[in-house]
Structure 1
């Protein structure tokens, strides 16, 4: 079987450990599950909660996701017409469909094998597909997972930014847990740009501001994400702190005390277990 990650080597594990953006090559371009028609068919299978649509052309700093959302009615046909309808579509959590779950696992297992990482440590695996009209913009935001953006069709410029200081980062992270989805109201300072085309992609570290601008062609891309132990602990602590902040208290920041962070992460896991419906998968 052809590897989906032909150019990754053990040095890639260091980039993940240090959360350093890096370009790579992949073998997903031309995959039979990732054509425009198959992506449209998948959109017709997914539940409405797993579909998102926005205007393609928007400011780099577009604000909260709810401010730019559009209807997902007849999304399959709209994706087929994406070259002309000036739209930007997201298929969320494609791993809930078995054939795409297998693809996400293959990508991440190939990554782990080539980089020398233990695949069991790549947890909370998720997959997302994107279809966007020419000149479309993925607004500036950050994610909490390790993300691997892989271009399938068209050429785009992926920009990376940074927070002005730790205080700004803390404010934006708190906003994330209160429903901003990590989107920015003001453009972050640009620190790097990478052009990605079919067969290339870029690693996007957690909590790293980034945005994408399409070229003159329709863009298709896939992103796979995962968490590792450090990343999961950080996210659980940030979620815990956001809950505490809503009460008017000021919690200790992540990283101030490893012991305190472990306790917060444990509390969030216990809270999630209590809220999980009986019989739900773990």
Structure 2
């Protein structure tokens, strides 16, 4: 059963999105998810309660734009729903992680990704590892400069935010920041401010495509903000991530690999090796379970 209203309430996109995905170019779009019953404040609060503290990251709302390591808060299970409902009077910044753990939200994530694929002319089977995240934050909140490794579709539900995009200052800075990510020391948070490139003003009914490995940051307006981000991998960022993982393992062995992108043929070989290795691991795990 569809969880989306008809006509299509998800991102209003077309074939231009496929071109942007291919070259990793950010873009804005409209949507009509703000009134969706799964996206009401009460539904989000109840979802947070169901997911529990292990699937929620909590931080102070106001923080510098450059925060190299997140300062996570401890979150009491009994306080989650109330804290999400009372963001306007709080100093809170929450991420509800992997909402696809709950069946209704998994169906919503799948419908959004497949609907976007249909409208952009993409093969939905090629958009894998689909995940959903709800961001809820108090007025004046800041999301520090960071990057994600997934393709992201951000949909603003309530409140207003400014989404800023930047670029790394040099290939060396990019490589250093990505190395920090794969060592598990940064969660994608950046050590230095990227060079600003563009901005989008987001309000209920607007959204943005955020490419993988693209620096970005957000600043809330004077209202509490609630938004949904749906993410996925396709072949290009899956392969880049595979190469980055292998490069990190080589560095641990004292080997200095060529950065991703410096030797495309070598990158393709590394990605193929990692796909083979992942397949072998899956077959071993399957055989052990029988």
Q: What's the TM-score once normalised by structure 1's chain length?
A: 0.93
- Please state how far the C-alpha of 1:7 moved relative to its aligned partner: 2.7
**Count of paired positions:** 279
- Please state how far the C-alpha of 1:153 moved relative to its aligned partner: 0.1
Q: C-alpha deviations, 1:43-86, integer Å up to 9, x for none?
A: 11114331100000000011112xx1111212222111111111
User: Does the 8 Å contact 1:131/1:218 carry over to 2?
Assistant: yes
Equivalent in the alignment of 2:102: 97
Secondary structure at 1:249 match in 2: coil
2:143 pairs with 1:138: yes
CA distance in 2, matches of 1:155, 1:118: 33
Equivalent in the alignment of 1:63: 68
CA distance in 2, matches of 1:135, 1:214: 5
Relative to structure 1, the CA distance from residue 6 to residue 237 in structure 2 (aligned partners, 3 Å threshold; closer, same or farther) is closer
User: Does the 8 Å contact 2:11/2:207 carry over to 1?
Assistant: no
2:121 pairs with 1:113: no
Equivalent in the alignment of 1:72: 75
CA distance in 2, matches of 1:38, 1:225: 21
User: Does the 8 Å contact 1:158/1:194 carry over to 2?
Assistant: yes
Which consecutive unaligned segments of at least 5 residues does structure 2 have? 1-5
Equivalent in the alignment of 1:128: 133
Q: What's the TM-score once normalised by structure 2's chain length?
A: 0.91
Secondary structure at 1:83 match in 2: helix
Q: How does 1:254-265 map to 2 (within 5 A)?
A: 254-265=260-271
Equivalent in the alignment of 1:235: 241
Which residue of 191, 195, 199 maps to 2:197? 191
Which consecutive unaligned segments of at least 5 residues does structure 1 have? none
Moved more, 43-52 or 27-36: 43-52
Equivalent in the alignment of 1:222: 228
RMSD in angstroms over aligned alpha carbons?
1.9
Q: C-alpha deviations, 1:206-252, integer Å up to 9, x for none?
A: 11000000000000000001111111101110111111112221012
